[in-house]
Amino acid sequence: MPVSVHSVIATNLATTVVSLSSNWFHRNVSRRRIFSSSVKCSVETTEADRWVKLKNGNDSLEICRVLNGMWQTSGGWGRIDRNDAVDAMLRHADAGLSTFDMADHYGPAEDLYGIFINRVRRERPPEYLEKIKGLTKWVPPPIKMTSSYVRQNIDISRKRMDVAALDMLQFHWWDYANDGYLDALKHLTDLKEEGKIKTVALTNFDTERLQKILENGIPVVSNQVQHSIVDMRPQQRMAQLCELTGVKLITYGTVMGGLLSEKFLDTNLTIPFAGPRLNTPSLQKYKRMVDAWGGWNLFQGLLRTMKSISTKHGVSIPTVAVRYVLDQQGVAGSMIGVRLGLAEHIQDANAIFSLVLDEEDVNSIQEVTKKGKDLLQVIGDCGDEYRRI
């Protein structure tokens, strides 16, 4: 049910003291009128929850709510054959999974997209091409952000992806002490006005900096953040700001690199060689999140609960994991990593759209997760894991 800005403000004012540990929120109550007038995004869902339209003013982009994450093409998950990878991208798109997420530093990801999009142009009808979306990221070093430097780097991605305009450019910044990120985003907005970028977005920004960016009149439509059943940090400070402004969340790490799957159910990783190997960068990364949250024993309890739910609905554990996060406040889409040409989970991904978790399912999951630690207190806000020395 839609919630009015006024009701959200009232709720936030009532819960400020217990929900936020700093005076950041207090400083911003008086500024909310800025959001309702100058920066207001919205989201529309169509075709039985498969598609979502991100909007901010005149900017809009329709994406599939389950995105194909291409970090796995960067080398740590096995050797990717170019032709096999592009064939796999076509199979995903043919199955309705037509949004691809990549970055300038994900190995050959942007180049693979360029080859793929050309095959789509040659082998598929024009209306098919309209559904294909390529979202990329720019992750520069925190140096002086001049217009020419920004333009040069965006042109590289446009050339690699073989598109006149990037569907979405998601911007990351390493060092908040250097406010050059505002300069970069203003230059990116200029490029959007020139038609070289369709929508500007963020990745791994925290709530305070997201608000600062919006107050500077930069029309971002989304923020890509880590979000899973284990890592519910985005549902705290970030979700409040998203509710007020309409900025949406695109989530990654939603199946925790594969930890949230049948493969790791009833395993004991403390015994060497007794269970599946943590042999990819994503498995190693999200195992550290499990340790910070509550440890492997508690995680096994979560997997058993999710297995019971998945059996009840005739789906897999990863399908339940993604559906749970898609149902959270502010979430427009969730990422599933694709090992193009090496493994496919198209059927599981498509099952997400028809899965409906009932109250019993949600309560049973929350009964386990409430036993874990609050990762906002352990790690910090969204993206803080990348900025702690």
* Residues 156-185 pLDDT 10s: 999 999 999 999 999 999 999 999 999 999
* Residues 160, 216: Cα–Cα separation, whole Å: 31
Q: Which SS3 state, helix, strand or coil, does residue 97 take? A: coil
DSSP string covering 233-292, please?
Answer: GGGTHHHHHHHHH--EEEEE-TTGGGTSSGGGTT--TTSTTSS----SHHHHHHHHHHHH
pLDDT confidence tier of residue 53, bands split at 50, 70 and 90: very high
Helix (H) or strand (E) holding 45: strand 41-46
Half-sphere exposure of 108 (CA within 13 A, CB side): 17
The dihedral region occupied by 64, where left means phi > 0, alpha psi between -120 and 50, and beta the remainder, is beta
Q: Is the separation of the CB atoms in 70 and 112 below 8 Å?
A: yes
* Residues 249, 381: Cα–Cα separation, whole Å: 14
Q: Is the separation of the CB atoms in 323 and 348 below 8 Å?
A: no
pLDDT in tens, 112-149: 999 999 999 999 999 999 999 999 999 999 999 999 99
Pairing relationship of beta strands 248-252 and 331-337 according to DSSP bridges: parallel
pLDDT in tens, 257-288: 999 999 999 999 877 777 788 989 999 999 99
Pairing relationship of beta strands 66-69 and 99-101 according to DSSP bridges: parallel
| Stretch among 44-58, 101-115, 227-241 having the lowest mean pLDDT | 44-58
* Residues 356, 377: Cα–Cα separation, whole Å: 31
Tokens of 5: 């800005």
Number of neighbouring beta carbons within 10 Å of residue 373? 14
Tokens of 314: 């005739």
Per the DSSP assignment, residues forming a β-bridge with 62 are 53
* Residues 24, 135: Cα–Cα separation, whole Å: 31
Give the pLDDT confidence score for residue 9 in this predicted structure: 31
Give the pLDDT confidence score for residue 110 in this predicted structure: 97
**Which residue carries 């929508």 as its tokens?**
199
Q: Is the separation of the CB atoms in 40 and 247 below 8 Å?
A: no
Is the per-residue pLDDT at 44 higher than 60?
Answer: no
Residue 101, amino acid: D
Q: Is the separation of the CB atoms in 191 and 197 below 8 Å?
A: yes
pLDDT in tens, 311-354: 999 999 999 999 999 999 999 999 999 888 787 899 999 999 99
Phi, psi of 205 (to 5 degrees): -90, 145
Residue 107, amino acid: G
Is the per-residue pLDDT at 19 higher than 90?
Answer: no
Residue of 292, 315, 293 lying closest to 302 (CA atoms):
293
Looking at per-residue pLDDT, the higher value among 357 and 39 belongs to: 357
Q: What is the mean pLDDT of the chain?
A: 88
**Which residue carries 């199955």 as its tokens?**
95
Tokens of 154: 């965006």
Give the pLDDT confidence score for residue 86 in this predicted structure: 96
pLDDT in tens, 208-246: 999 999 999 999 999 999 999 999 999 999 999 999 999
Half-sphere exposure of 186 (CA within 13 A, CB side): 12
Is the per-residue pLDDT at 40 higher than 60?
Answer: no
Q: Is the separation of the CB atoms in 352 and 324 below 8 Å?
A: no
Cα 253 from chain centroid (whole Å): 8
Q: Is the separation of the CB atoms in 209 and 180 below 8 Å?
A: no
pTM: 0.87
Q: Is the separation of the CB atoms in 137 and 160 below 8 Å?
A: no
Helix (H) or strand (E) holding 5: helix 5-19
